[in-house]
Amino acid sequence: MAEVPHMPTKPEILEKAIELFMYDNPGAPTPEEYELKEGNYWLRARDALMTGVRSELESYLAYLQSEVDTTLEALGIERIVPEERITELEDKLSALTEHYKTTKTRLAETREELRRIEEKKPPPPPPPPPMGLGPDEKKRLEDSFRRVFEEAGVTRIPMASFRDELAGLQEDLKEEERTRAFRLAYKQIVSLARSLLPVRPPPPRVAPPAPPPERPPVAVPMVELLGPRRRVIEVVECWNPDCFNEVTLDRDLMRRVTLIPVIKEITPRGARYEPLLAFPTRFYYMCEKCRLLPSPKGFGYRSIYDALAFLLFESRSSGKRLAITKGTFTAVGLDQEDLRNIQAAEARWMVGS
């Protein structure tokens, strides 16, 4: 038979309330009972002591209910629900059923209204592009800064200079779109790193060996020194600091049109020997868009082939003293692919004439 759970007595509640009071107010004098009740310590103590008793009471009540059911069953007595209780339950069931139908109808109407509102709502605007330098960009800039020193074999990296420069760039580029901000910052960071590289001492001077006996100089044509035509392609960034386009540079083609002298013009004093093109170096490191800009920013030509095609077109025009032919291009070592590119570019000048 289950025992009746022990209920906390008043002295036990008083003792627990004093304990809670002294925990919150260390060093205070022992409070009176009314102080504990005013400060809510009495209720807290009673709830704390009842925490374990509630479950015991529930178990005890369940035990008593089981004993009642067992006794009624043994006596053959059925538990009869009063008629009034049945009527009350039927009324509640009817009210709940009606309330359920009404609620279900309102729920369907609300869902339909929400669907119509969602259909009329304009699509949200696209999020603005990220601006300035983010954490990933800062990490990539730091890696690029370190790489300059590592490739130069320098172990002591001045990270304080990097942090100062990065702080200034972050403030200056906070209104720039993130991709452009990174490209601008990358140029500045790499330039700073290269400027901080220590100057290497010149190698020790060693007495040169005795020169070999002099031989009569042999003039070797430049075209033979360059050898057969080969395409040495490099991809570099445009010379223009405001442009980020890439430039495909054929160094072998650049050497042939700038180093090998040819009969470029027939003058009253005779033939004039010059390389095919006399552009400054920046012409070859500029993209097509920048080359086409008018002077002094650009040159008015798309490419090396475009400039060679103009020389060929001018030589064919009446009254011109230029002596450029397809044989001139062959003489500097250009191959059939080069000649086809020049011929294709010449169509631009022929249409313009």
Query: Domain check: are 52 and 105 in the same one?
Result: no
3 state DSSP class of 275: coil
Residue 206 is assigned to a structural domain of this protein: no
**239 vs 287: CA distance, rounded Å:** 8
Query: Domain check: are 236 and 334 in the same one?
Result: yes
Task: Report yes or no: 16 and 48 within 8 Å, Cβ to Cβ.
Answer: yes
**14 vs 46: CA distance, rounded Å:** 9
Q: How confident is the model at residue 101 (pLDDT cuts 50, 70, 90)?
A: confident
Domain-terminating residue out of 150, 179, 196: 196
Q: How confident is the model at residue 4 (pLDDT cuts 50, 70, 90)?
A: low
Query: Domain check: are 177 and 270 in the same one?
Result: no
Domain-terminating residue out of 39, 56, 75: 75
Q: How confident is the model at residue 176 (pLDDT cuts 50, 70, 90)?
A: confident
Residue 1 is assigned to a structural domain of this protein: no
Query: Domain check: are 244 and 314 in the same one?
Result: yes
Query: What pLDDT score does 317 carry?
Result: 75
In the predicted model, is pLDDT for residue 221 greater than 60?
yes
User: CA distances (Å), 277 to each of 186, 235, 284, 306, 352, in order?
Assistant: 34, 21, 11, 11, 21
Place of tokens 């259909």: 119
Segments forming the whole domain that contains residue 107:
82-119
pLDDT digits (tens, 9 = 90+) for 180-216: 888 988 988 888 888 888 877 777 777 778 777 777 6
Q: How confident is the model at residue 134 (pLDDT cuts 50, 70, 90)?
A: confident
Residue 223 is assigned to a structural domain of this protein: no
Query: Domain check: are 242 and 328 in the same one?
Result: yes
Q: Flag whether the pTM goes above 0.85.
A: no
Average pLDDT, integer, range 149-178: 85
Query: Domain check: are 90 and 166 in the same one?
Result: no
Residues with Cβ within 8 Å of residue 63, at least 6 apart in sequence? 2
